[in-house]
Amino acid sequence: MPSSAGPVVLMTHQGHPLRIRPAPGVKVLTGPSCPSRYNFCFAVAPGNPGPYVETSDGTSPLYNVGTIVKAKNNKVDKKFSNYFSPDPGDPTYQYINYKGKVKKAGPVKFDDIYCIGFSASACGNGSGAILNLGISLTP
């Protein structure tokens, strides 16, 4: 994957400064390729699990959950699987695997609903920080 400095989302959640950014080497989408409803957008290549996203606060172990849904109907896309490593960790990385075929690069068609928490239950009980990341597919 091409290298990119990429965008960095800086936010504060429960008094902790969080930094969320594309992992090194991830292809980042900008401008019209990344609609404004997303914190940032990136391309996923089938067969390359990544890592794709890095999260850090500099001091605390972070627990993360990612749910990948179709942008048009908000339904979970079963061709994706993802996990975080280390989990918990700081930093922690999201790995994404797409199990479909892609003939050509396309627009953002998937949302990565990305949750960050400071406990194992934070994303399940609504106390985690939520971001919306856009995913396109590339061959």
What total number of domains does the chain contain? 1
What is the band of 131 on the pLDDT scale with cuts at 50, 70, 90?
very high
Per residue in 21-66, pLDDT tens? 999 999 999 988 999 999 999 999 999 999 999 999 988 899 999 9
126 CB-near residues (< 8 Å, 6+ apart):
none
Residue 17 lies in a domain: yes
Residue 35 lies in a domain: yes
- Angstrom distance (rounded) from CA 86 to CA 83: 9
Q: Which domain holds residue 90?
A: 9-137
The pair of three-digit structure tokens given for residue 81, joined into one six-digit string: 């699987």
Residue 3 lies in a domain: no
Residue 97 lies in a domain: yes
Residue 2 lies in a domain: no
113: domain CATH number is 2.60.40
Distance between terminal CA atoms of the chain?
11
Q: Is the sign of the CA dihedral 28, 34, 38, 39 positive or negative?
A: positive
Residue 126 lies in a domain: yes
Residue 91 lies in a domain: yes
Residue 74 lies in a domain: yes
DSSP letters spanning 60-87: S-BEEEEEEEETTT-PBPTTEEEEEESS
Per residue in 60-100, pLDDT tens? 899 999 999 999 999 999 999 999 999 999 999 999 999 98
CB 53 within 8 A of CB 133: yes
Question: What is this structure's pTM?
Answer: 0.89
